[in-house]
Structure 1
């Protein structure tokens, strides 16, 4: 059974170029995560948003979910193909003609469309951290866990902002990195938010700010506090690799485009990341109009 990978990003391409053996880590309806060395890469259905670890296939969701693959299956990679050995078949994905997009976000100040970003977060119906923009902490008893999560997240964001303003950078880093693993979902909202914060610090040209340095070190120490998939995305962010929607955010034409591109990333992951970008971009610049205020 031979299939094709149509798109990927430079981070995932780099992994395939130097690791030749691995195994299937996990299988979802439209994604097969492969453990390659210490990293994950993700075979995904056509039309999926490009993350740093994406390997977009030509298969639709139904075809992807029908592949006879289970966790633990062996994986081999050569210069042109990824081969999955399942009990019933050998599945080959050719990647030598895949379009490769740059996942590296450089450290230089880039103006972001902040009004459009904030409006997108206000209009988002995904839930998650976007609710902090309207202060809509849930009071329905059935949503108690979510309400607690939002309250904890809001306090950490407020406290970290104050600590940065007070030049208590190490303390602020510990406060904010406490969101690692916080929340529910395949990638907890706190992790998506922190990935966004790191992108925001890059976009604002503050990557070498003392707070940014302290935050990176603290998140690195806490990577064990979350699951394998979230740990992969946090590790990518720490090495300045991000999804295509994040990379192209400075070029967004307005609210509609931002809603579309970030809304395609998981249930709330895209907007949790966008919330982090907004927060991180404004934090070290001394602006106070941030989520959680």
Structure 2
């Protein structure tokens, strides 16, 4: 392994590293975090008390990755993980049923405050944020349903950076939607180039951590929990769908719900487009 960079950000379960070679962010994570693009899952139980400082040097030498002065990760047992999305099904009956079930589960168990409307009215800022998220996501889905790629791109760009959270709700919704657009043989697959164009035009609209998730999702690279959920939506049982959906919903604060709504709305749109 070759790596040269610095510590970008530090959390309890993850440390993000910025690579000097390509400018991308990479993540070292505890084993409570699932596999994801550019992520190394370790047996370290916490990063917040390891004396790491933003800007610390990070480099790989031999079988070790050195992070600052006090942390080293052994690399002998590292296994390469690659994101894999299923192909869109020829028979949509199972998917159609699972989309309806997933929608009901998100309504009952998803966390409000982002893409899912909160029952509380909140202050005027929250109300305006809620209105913009709803208006722009609805515009995006409608434009995609009509095949209006340019208009869809406009709405997608307007969603980036919008909403609460370290990864804003609009970004998370797009991560889910972009994953659906990258399903081989799916109704949206032929216009998936839109995803990368949207991300390329939006580098300055969100923070680096969220932008990296969007960049990867634009080419169909998403975290393992998302890929497993998609697989069971197409091939699994109701029990498996709910189990994997619950895992997605557990991501971050509202992030999991926002991602799940992007996934489910994208799948619902795919079914509708195929039915014409």
Q: TM-score range by the shorter chain?
A: 0.7 to 0.9
Equivalents in 2 of 1:48, 1:164: separation in Å?
Answer: 33
**Cα distance change of structure 1 residues 138 and 148 upon mapping to structure 2, 3 Å threshold:** farther
Question: Is 1:140–2:102 an aligned residue pair?
Answer: no
- Pair 1:146–1:100, CA change in 2 (3 A): farther
Distance 1:193 1:162 in 2: 15
TM score, norm. by length of structure 1 = 0.79
User: Where does the alignment leave 5 or more consecutive residues of structure 1 unmatched?
Assistant: 1-16, 289-293
The TM-score, its normalising length taken from structure 2, stands at 0.83
Among residues 128, 137, 141, which one is paired with 1:161 in the alignment?
A: 141
Note if 1:274 corresponds to 2:260: yes
Choose from 253, 272, 276 the match for 1:286: 272
Pick from 47, 53, 78 the counterpart of residue 38 of structure 2: 53
Structure 2: gaps of 5 or more residues: none
Measure how far apart 1:166 and its partner are.
Answer: 3.9
Which aligned pairs between 1:188-227 and structure 2 lie closer than 5 A?
188-203=168-183, 205-210=186-191, 212-227=192-207
In structure 1, distance between residues paired with 2:186 and 2:61 = 38
1:191 Cα deviation after fit: 0.6
Mark the CA change 1:39 to 1:97 in structure 2 (over 3 Å): closer, same or farther. Answer: same
Cα drift, residue 78 of structure 1: 3.7
Shift of 1:161: 3.0
The equivalent residue for 2:164 is 184
Conserved? CA contact 1:122–1:130, under 8 Å: no
Q: Is the 8 A contact 2:34 2:224 kept in 1?
A: yes
- Is 1:103 the counterpart of 2:86 in the alignment? no
Whether the 8 Å contact between 2:167 and 2:209 is mirrored in structure 1 is yes
Task: Work out the number of aligned pairs and report it.
Answer: 259
User: Counterparts of 1:69 and 1:147 in 2: how far apart (Å)?
Assistant: 38
* Counterpart contact for 1:80–1:96, Cα < 8 Å: yes
Asked whether the 8 Å contact 1:161–1:283 carries over to 2, the reply is yes
Q: Which has the higher strand share?
A: 1
| Cα distance per residue 1:54-113 (max 9 Å; x no partner) | 22221223xx22111101110111453211133xx3x2101231343321436x314643
1:72-111 aligned within 5 A: 72-78=55-61, 80-86=63-69, 89=70, 91-105=71-85, 108-110=87-89
RMSD: 2.5
